[in-house]
Amino acid sequence: MTLTATQISFEDYLTHNDGTDNRYELVDGKLVLMNPPIIQHFLIAKLIEQVLDAEIKRLQLSWLVFREAGVRTGANKSRLTDVCVVTIGQARELLDQSAVFQSPPLLIVEIVSPDSIKRDYRYKRSEYAALEVLEYWIIDPLEAKVTVLSLEEGLYEEGVYTGDQQIRSQIFPEQTLTVEQVFAAGELGGSEGMEDEG
């Protein structure tokens, strides 16, 4: 993780281009370089996106799932999400702009990597709660668990799931994804019922 020395505004962050494909978060006015994710990370994010897309389609909701979209969490702070769910209205506001949402997504999913433990469990948790993101999933391959944080009166109530337990979501109460299925996808093991899609 690399910090830049110069301070920049949120508005400058939206148009920042250093001529590379590097991806940055904005933390207190400083650009923080994000390391490229490992394959396991991409596979888990893809499964989550597919499952949530299928549930949105089944329920005919006016919601969209995005991977690697940004979310503004402060005056000079913006985070990159692994997966987020927003309304079509929120997406429409950004049609011709950088994909950084300034209103809270319905759901954010972060996948923990060795260099993001503190960021995902501590910093993003407090920032997403302050932003009033209704639900925040922390998928942790290092600990083989999924933590679901549901906003209740401004604070997150925590549920932790492991093994063959279903991930309980207030945003998607009928989805049946298990923790095992999530981590099997990350090991290229696939998951039951997902092979036939596409």
Spell 75-102 as b/e; 16+ CB within 10 A means b: ebbbbbbbbbbbeeebbeeeeeeebbbb
Terminal-to-terminal C-alpha distance of the chain = 36
pLDDT (tens digit per residue) in 75-127: 999 999 999 999 999 999 998 888 899 999 999 999 999 989 999 999 999 99
Instruction: Kindly indicate whether the domain formed by 37-186 is annotated with CATH number 3.90.1150.10.
Output: no
10 close to 78: Cβ distance less than 8 angstroms: yes
pLDDT (tens digit per residue) in 159-192: 999 999 999 999 999 999 999 999 999 887 544 4
- pLDDT at site 4: 59
- Our measurement of the distance from residue 12's CA atom to the centroid of its chain's CA atoms, rounded to an integer in Å, reads 23
pTM: predicted TM-score of the whole model, two decimal places: 0.90
Sheet containing 135-140: order of strands: 63-67, 83-87, 107-111, 135-140, 145-152, 155-162
pLDDT (tens digit per residue) in 40-86: 999 999 999 999 999 999 999 999 999 999 999 999 999 999 999 99
- pLDDT at site 2: 56
Tell me if residue 193 falls in helix, strand or coil: coil
How far is 108 from 31, CA to CA, in rounded Å? Answer: 21
Q: Which of 77, 86, 76, 65 is nearest to 133 (CA)?
A: 86
- pLDDT at site 194: 44
